[in-house]
Amino acid sequence: MASFQARIKRAHFQVVLWQAAGEPSPPELDPVEYVMNITAPAASVIWELATSTSDPATQVTRAQDRNIVSVHQYQVTKWTLVALQVAVCTFGLVTNVINVAVFIKMGVAESATSISFFSLAVSDLAFVVAYFIFILLTIHGHFSSNFAYNVIAVFVFTLPYSLSSAITAYLSLQKMFCVAIPLKFRNVFTLQRTVIVLVFMSAVITACFVPMFATMYPVEFQNSVTNSSMVILAYRPGGPKLRRAFEISIQYLLPLSAQVIVIVCLVILMTKLKQASRFRHSNLTKTTESDSANSGSFRLSGKELQAVKAVTVVAGMFVTCNLPPVCVTMATIIEPRYHDTSLYFRLYNAITFARYTLMTFCSSLNLLVYVKFNTNFRQTLANMFSSRADTNAWE
């Protein structure tokens, strides 16, 4: 009878958790209240109430697990971050629209660097738009009874952000090779090859998302107990395996590999920038042929130097904003209970909103970099605003 009672309670917890998956306030239930013990003599699984344990250490541990993040703490953290995200996304919408407009005015096909920055601006704009819609729906409470659409929305804004990560990694590699080994790679990253690489990366990353959208679909779930319904996510045959492959490739391998590539390139670029700075400020009056050969690897023209600085700052922002999310994602591998449907679900969801906040920052601040380090961008932007002001004056 005790085993039957515990099984019913365990099932009740799981059902309540599923029903409340999209709620802003998860249920106050303890997922470790009903545990599974294996009795050696009978070799059978028996469910027991955890509260019946006499081990004080176990009780303390479970109490700590329950109180890592309370409902109140979670709500305060979530809505504080949501308010910050609204402000950052609004700023990001304006800045990325300006970025796209200025690059079009400048001519996106001016060089391999300019087309790469333009592509980054487009993918950042797509991410900010998609995430801003997600935030507005969250504030409206749309996902409280439509959990499936919450998951689909996350996939939608993850796609352009994954593209931004890949483009940033490519930009870093491009400048790193052109600065570190200029004689070999200066003519490798041509405009045509860069376009091919950007199209190929976009096609591959998009292809990783297509099976996910094709195998999952929303289903209305009727709750006869509360006489209510909610939309949950269902998968066609093979869907769960595809989602696992998707998580490994897009959520683990791509962010980690992009982070490693950008960090390595950032270190090399910063080293070469220091060398170039020392060379440009040296007071040597004579330079031997050997000195010229040695310094040629890091001698940069003014325009090239500004482009390298811009890429270095963009890469630095990428590392700063994406290193914590990558570490958080890796934590789900180390601690399986750190998940949105497991023991530390409140902590996981709170940190997830913090991770999204860093992502919005990373996609919204590039305008400041372009204005600082790109003279042509700065002049084009000033001309656009001055032309607009002159037009308004005549009106």
Cα 143 from chain centre = 20
Among 251, 169, 163, smallest CA distance to 201 is for: 163
Q: How far is CA 265 from CA 118, 119, 182, 195, 316, in A?
A: 20, 20, 14, 21, 10
| Domain-embedded: residue 296 | no
Please, what's the b/e burial string for 315-341 (b: 16 or more CB within 10 A of its CB; e: otherwise)?
A: bbbbbebbeebbebbeebeeeeebeee
- Given 17, 45, 66, which residue is the final one in a domain? 66
Measured in whole angstroms, the distance separating CA 74 from the mean position of its chain's CA atoms is: 21
Residue 393 lies in a domain: no
In 207-218, which positions are buried (b, 16+ CB within 10 angstroms) versus exposed (e)? ebbeebeebbee
Of 24, 42, 66, the one marking the end of a domain is 66
Are 111 and 48 contained in the same domain?
no
- Based on the fold, state whether residues 216 and 363 are members of the same structural domain: yes
121 vs 66, which has greater pLDDT?
A: 121
**Within-domain flag for 292:** no
Could you tell me if 228 and 202 lie in one domain?
Answer: yes
pLDDT digits 0-9 by tens, 383-395: 988 866 554 444 4
User: Hunting for tokens 């990428």 — which residue is that?
Assistant: 318
Q: If DSSP codes are grouped into helix, strand and coil, which group holds residue 284?
A: coil
Do residues 53 and 75 both lie within one domain?
no
Q: Among the three residues 39, 66, 93, which one is the final residue of a domain in this structure? A: 66
Report pLDDT for 16.
58
In a domain, 386, yes or no: no
Computed on alpha carbons and rounded to an integer, the radius of gyration of the chain in Å comes to 27
pLDDT of amino acid 104: 92
Average the pLDDT over 260-277 and give the result. Answer: 83
Tokens representing 134 are 């997600």
Question: Looking at the domain assignment, is residue 37 inside a domain?
Answer: yes
Length of the chain: 395
In a domain, 13, yes or no: yes
Claim to verify: residue 61 and residue 76 sit in the same structural domain: no
Listed residue (306, 243, 212, 312) closest to 271, CA to CA? 312
Note whether 86 and 114 are same-domain residues: yes
Q: Could you tell me if 221 and 306 lie in one domain?
A: yes
Range of the domain at 56: 2-66
- Per-residue model confidence (pLDDT) at position 281: 62
103: domain CATH number? 1.20.1070.10
Residues 336 and 361 occupy one common structural domain: yes
Phi, psi of 53, rounded to the nearest 5 degrees: -70, 145
Cβ contact 11:29 at 8 Å: no
- Provide the terminal-to-terminal Cα distance of the chain, rounded to the nearest Å: 85
Contacts of 33 (CB under 8 A, 6+ apart): 9, 13, 49, 50, 51
Q: Does 346 have pLDDT greater than 70?
A: yes
Mean pLDDT across 144-169: 86
Mean pLDDT of 176-191: 79
Dmax (CA) of the chain: 95
Q: Are residues 43 and 95 in the same domain?
A: no
**Pair 30, 120 in one domain:** no
Provide the H-helix boundaries in the chain: 2-19, 56-66, 71-106, 112-140, 147-180, 182-185, 191-215, 239-246, 254-280, 289-295, 302-334, 345-362, 366-373, 375-394
d(CA 357, CA 364): 11
- In this prediction the pTM is 0.74
Q: What is the pLDDT of residues 197-221, one digit of tens each?
A: 999 999 999 998 988 888 888 888 7
Q: Give the separation between CA 167 and CA 162, rounded to whole angstroms.
A: 9
Nearest-angstrom CA–CA distance, 137 and 337: 28
Is 23 found in the same domain as 118?
Answer: no
Q: Which long-range contacts (CB under 8 A, 24 or more apart) does 377-381 make?
A: 377/102, 377/103, 377/106, 380/102, 380/105, 380/106, 381/98, 381/102
Tell me the range of 178-182, 250-254, 304-308, 336-340 where mean pLDDT is highest: 250-254
Q: How confident is the model at residue 158, as a pLDDT?
A: 92
Q: Are residues 31 and 130 in the same domain?
A: no
Q: Where is average pLDDT lowest: 141-155, 314-328, 350-364, 367-381?
A: 141-155
How many distinct structural domains can be found in the chain?
2
Question: Could you tell me if residue 325 is inside a domain?
Answer: yes
What is the Cα–Cα distance from 116 to 100, expressed in whole angstroms? 12
Whether residue 289 is contained in a domain is answered as no
